[in-house]
A = this chain, B = another copy of it.
Amino acid sequence: MQDFLRLESDKYIETTDGITPMNLKALSQHLGLSQTTVSRALNGYPEVSERTRERVMQAAIELNYRPNPNAKSLATGRTEHIGIILPIEQNLFMEPVFGEFMAGIAQCLAEADMDMTIMPTPRSNELQAYQQLAISGRVDGILISSPTLQDARVACLAESDFPFVLHGRTECAFPYSYLDIDNQGAFANATRLLLDLGHQRISLVNGDESMTFARDRHAGYRQALQEHGVTYDPQLVCSQGSMTEEHGFNSVSRLLLQRPRPSAFIVGSMILALGAMRAIRHHGLEPGHDIALIAHDDHLPYLQADKFDPPLTTTSSSIRAAGYEITQVLHAEINNKGMGHSQTVLPVELIVRGSTRTYKRPA
């Protein structure tokens, strides 16, 4: 239990009953006050005089007193932690964007003075893990990302009133909070740009379409084609595969073999764009000249669209900012539990650069 041999500075204090751990009891003994008063003084309750509060605060700082978070959580039911469940096999971190997303979360958490509990879980236990985490009392709210079309995790949490926010959207019988970007609008705009430039055979290298975001992008693509009266050709769409350089290379290579050849590509990520460019060049063509290319850009700081050669036209949306905002939403949700649901769709900007600038109509 305790370990009195370990005499780290700050952790122990000499009181009337010997050397004891530095806790509320010791602090209040030291001050000649009750634990109640000290606790209230520290937590800003009004029923304590300003003079004692001053004194308590002072002593707490001097003695470097930190309330034990476990005890606090046990007593209050709050933890100041949010939770994320991490599937260990098809790991979210594999997607480089997840790191950026986390960075945004971290930024907001630091400002709100909260922390984050990450629970690595095999997919087989996932649902159970979400339920368990929700009732465990270890976190005040949960963040969910990468939803499928009808996401079971959302379905199972939405029934309870445990606070959570989804990054993305899903079909669900119950209302729930989410924050998403306008994937459909973004890819519709990208497609329109290409159509306006005269492209007729536009290829889409999409993410895994069991995910809502990929389905939405596909829908945007089709929508724009339809508006322009261009018939939709499923052969031009690649709707499975991971967001790797290799997959970008392979699918674009394959698509380039079609006749008539696609003259433009829309790809789902910057990493895919790397592979796409390699494929295009490998094919003896020049991106931005012979072939137009648009990528979705989540603003990875180490891979910037304007630094590509040619600079990449992108549908642009900071996933870090999304992480920041979704955490704010969750934080608000935690604080006014049951005050309705926040549903946000962030717009996505289309930034035109060199990769769609110089277009030669294909033969």
Contact = CB atoms under 8 A, between A and B. Distances in A.
Contacts of A243: 302
Contact of A245 (B66, B69, B96, B302): B302
A138 B66 CA distance: 12
B88 A99 contact: no
Given A1-B77, A8-B160, A135-B66, A93 B103 contact: yes
Contacts of A43: none
Contacts of A107: 88, 120
A171 interface: no
Contacts of A95: 302
A36 interface: no
Interface residues of A, number: 72
Interface string A114-155: 011111111000000001100111100000000000000000
Interface string A1-27: 110001010110000000000000000
A165 interface: no
A215 interface: no
B304 A282 contact: no
A172 interface: no
Most chain B C-beta atoms within 10 Å of own C-beta, residue among A88, A96, A274: A96
A244 B299 CA distance: 12
Interface string A232-265: 0000000000111110010000000000000000
Nearest to A75: B1
Given A66-B136, A88-B106, A117 B73 contact: no
28 contacts: A1-B76, A6-B160, A6-B161, A8-B160, A11-B135, A66-B132, A69-B136, A70-B73, A71-B74, A74-B74, A88-B106, A88-B107, A93-B99, A93-B106, A96-B300, A106-B118, A106-B120, A110-B120, A110-B122, A115-B117, A116-B117, A244-B303, A245-B302, A245-B307, A246-B302, A271-B303, A275-B307, A278-B309
